[in-house]
Amino acid sequence: MNLSYESHPLEEKKPRRIFSGISHNRFFIPILLFLLLQGLVMLGFFTRSDLGLYDAFFRLKGASNPGEKVVIVAIDDSSISRLGPPAWPRSVHARLLEKLKEARAVSFDLTFNSAQEAREDQAFASAIQKHGQVILAAKFTFEKDESGELVQGFEPPLQELMSGAAGLGFVNTPTDIDQRVRRSTLVDVNYFEVPFPSLAIATAMVAQDISYEELKLEADRLLLGKTEIPLSPLNQAMVKFWGPKATFKTISYADVIEEKIPPAYFQDKIVLIGSITPEDHDFVTTPYTTSNMVKGGALDTPGVEIHASIVQTFLEDSWYREAEKPFNMAFLLLAGLLTSLVVRGRGPWKGLIGTVLVTLASIALVYGLWEYQRIWLSLAAPLALILLTYVVVTATEFIRAELGRRKTKAMFSRYVSADVVDELLKNPDEISLGGKKQVVTIMFADIRGFTAFSENKDPVDVINRLNEYLTAMTDSIQSHGGTLDKYLGDGLMAFFGAPVYFEDHVERAIKVAREIQVKVAELNHKWAEQGAVPLLVAVGINTGPVVVGNVGSPERMDYTLIGEDANLASRVEALTKLFETLVLVSERSYDLLPEGETKASLHYVGEELVKGFTHPIKVYSFTDLDLHFEKSQDKGFK
């Protein structure tokens, strides 16, 4: 199968109306598909795919070292085995704060909303107040009231503990529709009707000496002193993740208590304290979490490490932000238009290469913006549009080209042989709808004496015999790659060198002239045995430049040629009567013949001035054939 299906130049205009919008407007398909996919985007069809691609970029980049400015003191299995099962006496936390006295800020990802022994609570409260840089955790609750409406509640730590704390923040962490954490709600305005910070933001504020008065919430950003954080309408920010579980420096709680880690290590560090044991179920899925451990997967991340990521993101000011909708729409449209440009008219394989290049360029652009500008440009819909545009444009052009091939085959099957039609379909650029100027060899053939023969005879017999002669001539013409232009009553017109060009088009025409005389002689012998009058066929040949192509209206077209040399070929055929020979070749054809057998087979007959030409035309005929006839014997000659 020929997989090249560029638009065929001989397709007629009217039958292409079905594809007129597509073929005349290269942007019709991508714009239509853009509108379709943009509608799907608005319906959230690509949300999960986009989130998956966002995660893939983190995994593609790999884990990076966040440093040790933010460290985690973890309540782990080792600590439980050495200090006993939780909940520990709060004096233990007081001892921990003593070991962390040089830390810049200490944040507890633990809720202390219920009282223990007064002595324990007092010891812990005193330690909090003495340290002066401790941040405690609160929690929002959500329950339905009697009417079924969701009511937000608030669970703060004990007032005794909270009074000495440097900061307070909520620990609630939002997830996306696939239950992964990619964003963090930095402030809540629903419960207190004023911005209330998350635990991570409260920790960062204490560490950076940012007062509550410097916390300002605006329409699409959060201002913390001189730091500006981009926010979504839900007051959420896209957090940077450094890697999977245990990417941040994590120290066992018991190791700090037992001073296996010297207190000086924590100088000017931000310390977050939380549980990483499975029993506490404080684990979340992040972009780095994968389920296949055999292939290097990663388990869920402890909640305390999420808070650490948020604090580190704040310190580096490395928040990600989603591109605004107009930019996503523009990127989607550009992807479709660019794909259409590289696919249209190039065939399936070149189009596929172009599509792959556009895909790679789109991924590189989105990754570059994500990595260096921290802007997330939606990628799933553009990738789908790129693929869909390739498929639709390729399929449309294939269908249109196939229809064009069928029309071309139907059109030229009337003029040329099946082999020439196949050659045309392989090389459609050799012809053009509007016609083009090229050198061809034209042949006119006429049955001598046919008018006299047809007098007083049954018209059916006349037509049958005429068809037999015309069929023989047509077969000879098409077998040598010639094009039958038209039948002219008892004659015909043909040419060689178009629509498929042959270097030896002059020789082909002369060989056909010789073959016609041989076939006519055989027919005459057949008819003579039946007592019928033999007929003669005169042939005139000329070569020169003409305009060849489809001529007519969109409703009715013929592939033909026009030009001076076509007229001269007709005049040369008429000179056969004057020179009393059945085949004449003009000097214009003769001069183009290469030296060889064909040229040697011709001899000079004479020259004559013909109508429409200022100089006499020299003519040649076959040396080895007896083609002489007398005008007096040509009863049809006038």
Q: Decide if 580 contacts 600 (C-beta within 8 A).
A: no
Check whether 636 has a pLDDT greater than 50: no
The winner for highest mean pLDDT among 53-57, 298-302, 412-416 is 53-57
Q: What is the CA radius of gyration of the chain?
A: 46
State mean pLDDT over 621-627.
90
pLDDT category, 22, cuts 50, 70, 90?
very low
pLDDT category, 433, cuts 50, 70, 90?
low
Q: For position 490, what pLDDT does the model report?
A: 87
Handedness of CA 428, 433, 437, 443 (dihedral sign): positive
The CATH code for residues 432-622 is 3.30.70.1230
Check whether 8 has a pLDDT greater than 50: no
Check whether 554 has a pLDDT greater than 70: no
Strand 283-284 with 301-302, pairing: antiparallel
Closest CA to 66 of 390, 288, 332, 252: 288
Domain-by-domain residue ranges, the chain? 27-56+323-401, 62-317, 432-622
Percent of the chain with pLDDT over 70: 89
Distance (Å, whole) CA 429 – CA 426: 9
Q: For position 25, what pLDDT does the model report?
A: 66
Q: For position 310, what pLDDT does the model report?
A: 97
Distance (Å, whole) CA 28 – CA 341: 12
Q: Each residue of 245-273: pLDDT tens digit?
A: 999 999 999 999 999 999 999 999 999 99
The winner for highest mean pLDDT among 381-395, 413-427, 524-538 is 381-395
496-531 burial, b if ≥16 CB within 10 A, otherwise e?
A: bbbbbebebbbbbbbbbbbbbbebbeebbeebeeee
Q: Decide if 41 contacts 378 (C-beta within 8 A).
A: yes
Strand 196-197 with 301-302, pairing: unpaired
Q: For position 556, what pLDDT does the model report?
A: 67
Check whether 302 has a pLDDT greater than 90: yes
Q: Decide if 204 contacts 311 (C-beta within 8 A).
A: yes
Query: Which are the contacts of 456, defined by CB distance < 8 A and separation ≥ 6?
Result: none
Check whether 531 has a pLDDT greater than 60: yes
Closest CA to 287 of 240, 255, 322, 357: 240
Check whether 27 has a pLDDT greater than 70: yes
pLDDT category, 428, cuts 50, 70, 90?
low
The winner for highest mean pLDDT among 3-7, 153-157, 524-528 is 153-157
Q: Each residue of 402-422: pLDDT tens digit?
A: 777 777 666 665 555 565 566
pLDDT category, 573, cuts 50, 70, 90?
very high
Q: Decide if 450 contacts 535 (C-beta within 8 A).
A: yes
Q: Each residue of 105-138: pLDDT tens digit?
A: 999 999 999 998 999 999 999 999 999 999 999 9
Check whether 16 has a pLDDT greater than 60: no
Q: Which residues pair with 542 in a beta bridge?
A: 442
User: Nearest-5° angle of CA 385, CA 388, CA 392?
Assistant: 135
Q: For position 86, what pLDDT does the model report?
A: 85
**Higher-confidence residue: 532 or 543?**
543
Burial of 537 (0-12, 13-18, 19+ CB in 10 A): buried
DSSP string, 397-422: HHHHHHHHHHHHHHHHTTTS-HHHHH
Check whether 161 has a pLDDT greater than 70: yes
State mean pLDDT over 153-163.
93
pLDDT category, 424, cuts 50, 70, 90?
low
Q: For position 549, what pLDDT does the model report?
A: 81
Residue 530, classed as helix, strand or coil, is coil
pLDDT category, 5, cuts 50, 70, 90?
very low
Burial of 61 (0-12, 13-18, 19+ CB in 10 A): middle
Distance (Å, whole) CA 167 – CA 579: 120
Check whether 104 has a pLDDT greater than 80: yes
Q: For position 140, what pLDDT does the model report?
A: 93
* Mean pLDDT of all residues belonging to the chain: 87
Q: Decide if 185 contacts 172 (C-beta within 8 A).
A: yes
Q: How many CB atoms lie within 10 A of CB 387?
A: 13
Q: Which structure tokens are listed for 286?
A: 């992040």
Percent of the chain with pLDDT over 90: 66
State mean pLDDT over 155-163.
94
Least confident of 295-304, 436-445, 617-626: 295-304
